[in-house]
Amino acid sequence: MIHTHRDGRLSCMHEMRIYKRYFDLIASGKKTTEIRVNDSSRKRLKEGDLLRFKCREEEVLTRITRIARYRDFDDMFGTEPISSVNPTASKADQLRNIREIYPPEREELGVVAIGIEVVAP
């Protein structure tokens, strides 16, 4: 979906489903980096695009502030501030959690770190 800003700029609107524990961190502004495998839908993300996160009936609108692509989760966690991904968990816990979500063959697609800022809760 294309979104037109008041100043005439255009940006794409994307949507992602997310677990409740991460949704709450995004909505509160504490989680400023979302990480995903770099599949075909993530390759379309661009800085300035809008990204709506949904969890059940709740949603929060964010703007993409930056995109960084990495070989794998270890590479990504070697660069990205751990507290921006999940301020409530250690690096080891975050790696374990993300690898429970994504099997090795999905991680082989590469990893994208998406910088976000809340636009509207």
CATH for 27: 2.30.130.30
Q: Where are the beta strands (DSSP E) in 1-121?
A: 2-4, 10-17, 33-37, 50-55, 58-70, 111-120
Q: Percent of the chain beyond pLDDT 70? A: 90
Segments forming the whole domain that contains residue 113: 2-120
Question: How many folded domains does the chain comprise?
Answer: 1
Give the CA distances from residue 74 to residues 20, 70, 90, in Å, rounded to whole numbers and listed in that order: 24, 9, 13
Tens digits of per-residue pLDDT, 38-96?
A: 999 899 999 999 999 999 999 999 999 999 999 999 999 999 999 999 999 999 999 99
8 pLDDT above the threshold of 70: no
16 pLDDT above the threshold of 80: yes
Tell me the mean pLDDT in the region 26-36: 97
Task: Please give the residue that has the higher pLDDT: either 116 or 121.
Answer: 116
